[in-house]
Amino acid sequence: MELRNKKGVSGFLLMEVREDPELQSPVFSLFLSMYLVTVLGNLLIILAINCDPHLHTPMYSFLSNLSLTDICLSTTTIPKMLMNIHTWNQSITYAGCLTQVCFVLVFASLDSCIPSAMAYDLYVAICHALRYTVIMYSHLCCLLILLSLFTSIVDALLHSLMLLQLSFCTDLEILLLFCEVVQVIRLSCSDTLINNILIYFASSILGGIPVCGIILSYIQIVSSVLRIASASGKYKAFSTCGSQLSIVSLFYWTAFCVYITSAFTNSPRNTVVLSMRYTVVPQMMNPFIYSLKNRNVKGALKRLVSI
């Protein structure tokens, strides 16, 4: 299928990230630094987990896959931003935009689903410790990851195929630094009712179900931890929960704010800041939070560096 719409639109314009030419180098350096930290940090987590036999457990398998997803999500958006800043060019082709929309949806959905699997794993480890190895066997771990990946790919393909049916107006500027499905739909001159219904339905499924699962898991976890008599045991359990909740809260809250802001405000700058906070900042912070809060990961990283 040819990636052109009915009116022959060949591309879109992404939002300009700088208004002053003197800011080009600082802005470019900032995004490049964030990208390198994200890739190198998450890559170290993946290598440490895969090279240390003691970390071949469901919890760290989920963490490794989350780190890989974070690298992919950042790679989908930031390199194009860097190229646009360096070349003073805001354009992105029609095919490139739809491809970026598809990959952003895949990896953002995975970033939503994997933490819910991690929360369930933590729930089993704390609330059903004696049956943990029976419940969280390796095949279930792989099944949860594959189910998350399959759901994310199906969702992304549905949205992308629906975008192919749209015609676009003369105003082709996307009010974000990357192509995002809601912003692309807003540029269309076609009837977008079905697209919007699909977005709300998919967001309810891929956002609502993981969030509900995380909330229910942590309610059970907190209830079990409060019954622990040892103060050190409570601190260890809450410390593990806190590192996961901080990343999950940052991702979901900023993602929610992006959609609320884009729907009810005309301030594109606020939308850009919020969108960067859920597509860049959580992915960059994951390695620091999980490694600094986890003694096993820190030990594996030290052994990896020494090797």
Among candidates 53, 55, 219, 235, which has minimal Cα distance to 122?
Answer: 219
Residues counted in the chain = 307
- Sheet of strand 11-14, all strands in order from the earlier edge strand to the far edge: 91-93, 11-14, 173-174
- Segment 4-20 shows an average pLDDT of 64
In a domain, 3, yes or no: no
Whether the per-residue pLDDT at 45 is higher than 70: the answer is yes
pLDDT digits (tens, 9 = 90+) for 159-189: 999 998 888 877 788 877 788 888 888 888 8
Give the separation between CA 107 and CA 239, rounded to whole angstroms.
Answer: 27
Residue 254 above 90 pLDDT? no
Which residues have CB under 8 Å from 273's CB, separation 6+?
Answer: none
Q: Which domain holds residue 197?
A: 23-306
pLDDT, one tens digit per residue, over 121-151 is 888 888 888 888 888 887 888 899 999 999 9
Q: How many domains does the chain have?
A: 1
Q: What is the pLDDT of residue 4?
A: 44
Contact indicator for 218, 241 with CB cutoff of 8 Å: yes
pLDDT tens digits, residue range 50-69?
A: 888 888 888 889 989 999 99
Place 275 in a pLDDT band, splitting at 50, 70 and 90. Answer: low
Q: Tokens in use for 192?
A: 């977008």
In this prediction, residue 236 has a pLDDT band, given cuts at 50, 70 and 90, of low
50: Cβ contacts below 8 Å, ≥ 6 apart: 64
pTM reported for the whole predicted model: 0.85
- Give Cβ neighbours of residue 93 (< 8 Å, ≥ 6 apart): 10, 11
Q: Is residue 45 part of a domain?
A: yes
**pLDDT-based confidence at 6, cuts 50/70/90?**
very low
Structural domain contains residue 17: no
Least confident of 42-46, 69-73, 104-108, 202-206: 202-206
Higher pLDDT, 261 or 299: 299
CATH label of the domain that carries residue 176: 1.20.1070.10
Q: DSSP letters of 38-51?
A: HHHHHHHHHHHHHH
**What is the percent of the chain with per-residue pLDDT over 90, rounded to a whole number?**
19
| Residues contacting 26, CB < 8 A, separation 6+ | none
Q: How far, in Å, CA of 148 to CA of 129, rounded?
A: 25
User: What integer best gives the mean pLDDT of the chain?
Assistant: 80
For residue 157, give both structure tokens.
């393909």
Task: Of 220, 202, 198, give the one whose Cα is nearest residue 210.
Answer: 202
